[in-house]
Structures are given as structure tokens and as C-alpha cells.
């Protein structure tokens, strides 16, 4: 099938792919016919009881797809009304308009009626500014009337590059797109604005569906070759010794979650590095997880002489930001992989240069910020409305020479070399206190087993999502570790 369900293609690149397909001899009008046919099929399939199909057509090729869908729906016996603007003369859209019988009425003429279904073919990949007041009013009218919307390529008003609306935007029930997903289909709020996604083949050859930018959905092809093998000659140290730093008495649970996740994710041993005052309390909660009392950066420095300590997680429930900075310095010098989360990140707010300086050379730092932690570290990137979440994660990865796991419903994993993946399939009930600590432990365990940081992060995010699926919607973070399974 000539679709690529893995690659994420920016709208500008999609335009080049369309152009390359046309240059290779496939007619643009044929592509438009195929696109319009998929849209019509979607409407017929999901709205068998519709009374009228209302087609909103814009001036470009997105509108062209709408004219084709209008004709095909009319040929299927549906009562069709077209609203919008006539396309510019001379192109495929003008031909599609000419081939569709009936008039096109001004957008303002649409009066919602029960049984209407909207086909939104106003703007797709070509959207380059906020929609005007007339379209904004139309979007409002559709929303107030609760008329279902089937969007062509993208809900009009949504940026396919960033997943952010440029102004007013349709809320679609279904979005029918072609050849490859765009980042805006997965990044929030775009994913929610698209409703159910339908990725359809319009006949663009698979060989042309490539990107000049290595962005993809998070998928097994990114990490499969690097997953730890079940070696019969295994022993626990070979499987990797993960160290998780514990906070003080009051917040030790977070580190326990990370540690338990680490064991379930395959680390051979996990040791909690605990401040002396919390050792007794932690001991009452631990069984397979081991413990070592670590008071100061000097203590840590000494312990780091043990080369079997394979990877470190610092941040969950750590509490003391000064101490976090003190501990990260020897970890930076230890030339081993480190996951920084939560307080381990907040400790470097306003001081990202120092953090990056500790992890020069081959990438071995992974940071796992949620939205708030990301902003604390990179306020300027967070505030730049031109940047997508992918752009932000990539920029942060470069600044820190780290793999950035920018968490959320649309977790973005980015490497300093520009590789980026969007993980969109995780269940929403992962949004529960402590679930991020579990993720940090999983990634730490994969690093301890020798996976490179980008691959470990992509695999860790996938394992976390799958554990959430298995644990079910009533889960708490404590339920997650036993549901972690090797990929």
C-alpha cells in the first residue's frame, strides 16, 4: 500500500511529494479524484443517516478535494450543497469544480439543519495564516449546531506542522488524510481536533513518500535492533546495575517507583542511593531493590569507582536542589548514562549551560521533562509560538547534548543529531502521580542494559504506554511496574 504510517511529513514536504508524484507522470487531477473519493467514502460509511452533505470548499487543492467529494456524494444519491469560493482558474481544483454540477454558494448562506454533515475542504496543507472572520464565524456556527465535521487532510485552521490552531479551527469527528501523517495530526491539540484519523492511499508511489527530516511516529523499527537480548549466559551484573537516587524521608516513594520499574524493565540489580536519615524507612519498603547510604558528593565519587554501576536515575522525589546539582557533577564525570527527571531538572533551571557542559562528548544524558519542567529549563523555547513541540525538544536536545523525552499525551523523543519521534498511543490514564517516575526507571534500566540513549528512550516510552494499557484505566503508578514487559 502506498502510504507510510510511520513517517511524519511536514506540509511543505508533502507539497514536494505531491509535486514529485505529478512530475513522475501521475496526474494531479487523478490524485485529487482519489483523495475526494476517500472523503466521500468516509462520509457515506460513518453517516449513513445524513440528510444533507454540506461541502465547504476553499480556493486551493484542499477545496479541489471537496469538489470531487461533492460530485461523488451527489452521484451516490446524497443531497449535496457546496459553499465557499470558486477556485483560481487553470488548476486541478478548477477542473474538479467544473466537473461538479450545481452552484457554489457563499459560506454565510449556510443555515444548519438537523441531519447536516460538513465536509471541511477549506484549507489543508496550504494554511499559512489565521482564518478570516467569515470562516471563524462559520466554525462557530458549526460548533453551536453540533454539526459533525469530516475534515479533508486537516481541520481548517490547524497547522499541520505544529499541531496548533493558527486562530479559529474546526473540531472534526473524522479527518481523512493522504499518503502520510503530518506532525499536526499527532501533536496536541491537533490530535484531538482531528477526531478519528484515516490515512489513505491516493496512489503516490511509496518510494516518493520520504521526508527530508527524520521525524516519525514512535515505532519498533527505531529500537528493535538495540533491545537487550535474553542471553542464556546472562548474570545479573551483565544485565546492568541501575542506581536510583532517593530523596529524603518525606518523598522516598518516587525513587522506589523508579527502582521497581527498573527491575521489571530488566536491570539485573537496582540499588537505591539513599540519604542516611531515610535508609531505615526505605528499608521497610524494599525487597528485591537494594540500598546504599550515600550522604555526600564525596561518598558518591568513591562509589563511582565501581565500574559495574551502569546507569543512574536522579530526580524523582529528590527534594534538595543544591544536593542534586552537587551529585550530577560527579555523575557527569563518570562517563556513564544518566536519566534526569523532576528535581534533577529543576536543579538546573536557569543553568542549562552548566548541565550541558557536564555531559559533553558521546550523548549519555536523557532528560524526561513534563511541560512545566521543560518551561523551567527552556522558557524561551516554550514561549516561541512558531515552534512545534518537536522543534522545542530538538532545540533542547542540541543545547544539552541530551536525548529529550518531552512528556505528555504527545511525548516527543528528540536526539541532538535531529532524530525525533512522537509517541501518540499511550493511554490517558498514565496522567497520574508517579507515572513519570516509573518511566524514568524504565529508561534507566534500558540504558543500564546497554541500549543507546535515543533507542532506550523510544523503547522506554513504548514500554511505559504498554504497561499502562495492561494495567487498565483504574491503575495507579504503583500498579505499573508489574505490568512492564520486555518488548
Ligand X SMILES: Nc1ncnc2c1ncn2[C@@H]1O[C@H](COP(=O)(O)OP(=O)(O)O)[C@@H](O)[C@H]1O
Name residue 198's beta-bridge partners: 176
Query: What residues numbered 382-421 form the site for ligand X, per CB under 6 A?
Result: 407-409, 411
Partner touching 182 among K ion, ligand NAX, ligand X, none, CB below 5 to 8 Å by kind:
none
Q: According to CB under 6 A, which one of 8, 31, 208, 393 is a site residue for ligand NAX? A: 31
Give the total of residues touching ligand NAX (CB under 6 A): 28
Partner touching 31 among ligand X, ligand NAX, K ion, none, CB below 5 to 8 Å by kind:
ligand NAX
Partner touching 30 among ligand X, K ion, ligand NAX, none, CB below 5 to 8 Å by kind:
none
Contact by Cβ (8 Å): 235, 461 = no
Residue 30 interacts with ligand NAX (CB under 6 A)? no
Residue 129 interacts with ligand NAX (CB under 6 A)? yes
Chain-centroid distance of CA 476 in Å reads: 22
441 is in an annotated binding site: no
Residue 123 interacts with ligand NAX (CB under 6 A)? yes
Binding mask 190-219 for ligand NAX (x = CB under 6 A): ------------x-----------------
Q: According to CB under 6 A, which one of 370, 375, 376, 398 is a site residue for ligand X? A: 370
Distance CA 169, CA 175 (A): 13
Query: What residues numbered 318-347 form the site for ligand X, per CB under 6 A?
Result: 342
Phi first, then psi, for residue 431 (nearest 5°) are -75, 75
One-character DSSP codes across 66-98: HHHHHHHHHHTT-EEEEEE-PPPTTSHHHHHHH
Helix (H) or strand (E) holding 405: strand 402-406
Look up residue 382 and give its three cell numbers: 516554550
Residue 435 interacts with ligand X (CB under 6 A)? yes
Contact by Cβ (8 Å): 404, 369 = yes
Distance CA 33, CA 481 (A): 50
> Smallest distance, Å, CB 253 to ligand NAX?
49
User: CB under 8 Å to 346, separation ≥6 — which residues?
Assistant: 321, 324, 373, 376
Q: According to CB under 6 A, which one of 109, 128, 225, 231 is a site residue for ligand NAX? A: 128
Helices (H), 47-182: 61-75, 92-98, 133-145
The piece of 31-39, 106-114, 221-229, 438-446 that touches ligand NAX (CB under 6 A) is 31-39
Q: According to CB under 6 A, which one of 162, 437, 444, 457 is a site residue for ligand X? A: 437
Handedness of CA 209, 215, 220, 221 (dihedral sign): positive
Partner touching 402 among ligand X, ligand NAX, K ion, none, CB below 5 to 8 Å by kind:
none
Binding mask 452-481 for ligand X (x = CB under 6 A): ------------x-----------------
Closest residue by Cα to residue 57 from 6, 4, 116, 105:
105
Residue 428 interacts with ligand X (CB under 6 A)? yes
Phi first, then psi, for residue 433 (nearest 5°) are -55, 130
469 is in an annotated binding site: no
409 is in an annotated binding site: yes
Helix (H) or strand (E) holding 377: helix 371-377
Distance CA 389, CA 405 (A): 11
354 to each of 152, 328, 383, 397, 457, how far by Cα in Å? 47, 10, 22, 14, 23
Distance CA 32, CA 202 (A): 8
Partner touching 103 among ligand NAX, K ion, ligand X, none, CB below 5 to 8 Å by kind:
none
Residues marked as binding for (6S)-NADPHX? 61-65, 124-130, 153, 254, 317, 370, 437
Residues marked as binding? 61-65, 120, 124-130, 153, 156, 254, 317, 370, 407-411, 436-437
Binding site for ligand X (CB under 6 A): 342, 370, 407-409, 411, 426, 428, 430-431, 433-437, 439, 464
Binding site for ligand NAX (CB under 6 A): 15, 18, 28, 31-32, 35, 58-65, 123-132, 152-153, 178, 202
Amino acid at each position: 500500500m502506498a502510504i507510510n504510517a510511520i513517517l511524519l511529513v511536514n506540509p511543505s514536504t508533502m507539497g514536494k511529494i505531491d509535486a514529485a508524484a505529478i512530475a513522475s507522470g501521475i496526474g494531479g487531477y487523478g490524485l485529487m479524484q482519489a483523495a475526494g473519493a476517500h472523503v466521500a467514502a468516509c462520509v457515506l460509511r460513518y453517516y449513513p443517516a445524513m440528510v444533507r452533505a454540506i461541502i465547504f470548499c476553499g480556493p486551493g487543492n484542499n477545496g479541489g478535494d471537496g469538489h470531487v467529494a461533492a460530485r461523488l456524494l451527489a452521484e451516490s444519491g446524497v443531497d449535496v450543497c457546496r459553499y465557499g469560493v470558486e477556485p483560481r482558474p487553470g488548476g486541478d481544483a478548477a477542473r474538479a469544480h467544473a466537473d461538479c454540477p450545481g452552484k457554489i454558494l457563499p459560506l454565510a448562506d449556510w443555515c444548519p439543519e438537523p441531519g447536516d454533515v460538513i465536509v471541511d475542504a477549506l484549507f489543508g496543507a496550504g494554511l499559512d495564516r489565521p482564518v478570516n472572520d467569515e470562516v471563524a464565524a462559520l466554525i462557530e456556527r458549526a460548533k453551536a449546531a453540533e454539526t459533525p465535521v469530516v475534515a479533508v487532510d486537516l481541520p481548517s485552521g490547524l497547522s499541520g506542522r505544529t499541531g496548533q490552531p493558527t486562530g479559529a479551527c474546526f473540531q472534526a469527528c473524522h479527518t481523512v488524510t493522504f499518503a502520510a501523517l503530518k506532525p499536526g495530526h499527532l501533536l496536541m491539540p491537533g490530535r484531538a481536533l482531528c477526531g478519528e484519523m484515516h490515512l489513505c492511499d491516493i496512489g503516490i508511489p511509496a518510494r516518493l513518500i520520504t521526508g527530508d527530516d527524520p521525524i516519525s511516529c514512535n515505532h519498533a523499527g527505531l529500537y528493535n535492533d538495540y533491545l537487550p537480548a535474553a542471553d542464556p549466559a546472562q548474570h545479573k551484573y551483565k544485565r546492568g546495575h541501575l542506581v536510583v537516587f532517593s530523596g529524603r524521608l518525606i518523598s522516598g516513594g518516587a525513587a522506589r517507583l523508579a527502582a521497581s520499574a527498573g527491575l521489571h524493565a530488566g536491570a539485573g540489580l537496582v540499588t537505591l542511593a539513599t540519604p542516611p536519615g531515610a535508609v531505615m524507612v526505605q528499608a521497610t519498603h524494599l525487597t528485591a531493590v537494594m540500598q546504599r547510604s550515600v550522604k555526600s558528593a564525596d561518598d558518591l565519587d568513591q562509589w563511582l569507582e565501581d565500574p559495574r554501576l551502569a546507569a543512574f536515575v536522579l530526580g524523582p522525589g529528590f527534594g534538595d536542589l543544591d544536593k542534586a546539582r552537587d551529585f550530577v557533577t560527579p555523575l557527569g564525570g563518570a562517563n556513564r548514562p544518566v536519566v534526569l527527571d523532576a528535581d534533577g531538572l529543576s536543579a538546573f533551571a536557569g543553568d542549562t549551560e552548566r548541565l550541558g557542559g557536564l555531559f559533553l562528548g558521546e550523548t549519555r544524558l536523557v532528560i524526561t521533562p513534563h511541560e512545566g519542567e521543560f518551561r523551567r529549563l527552556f522558557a524561551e523555547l516554550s514561549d516561541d509560538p512558531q515552534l512545534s513541540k518537536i522543534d522545542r525538544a530538538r532545540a533542547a536536545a542540541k543545547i544539552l547534548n541530551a536525548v529529550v523525552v518531552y512528556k505528555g499525551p504527545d511525548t516527543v523523543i528528540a536526539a541532538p543529531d535531529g532524530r525525533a519521534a512522537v509517541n501518540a498511543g499511550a493511554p490517558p490514564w498514565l496522567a497520574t502521580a508517579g507515572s513519570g517516575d516509573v518511566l524514568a526507571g524504565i529508561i534507566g534500566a534500558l540504558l543500564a542494559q546497554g541500549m543507546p540513549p535515543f533507542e532506550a528512550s523510544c523503547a522506554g516510552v513504548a514500554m511505559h504506554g504498554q504497561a499502562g494499557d495492561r494495567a487498565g484505566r483504574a491503575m495507579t503508578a504503583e500498579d505499573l511496574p508489574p505490568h512492564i514487559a520486555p518488548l
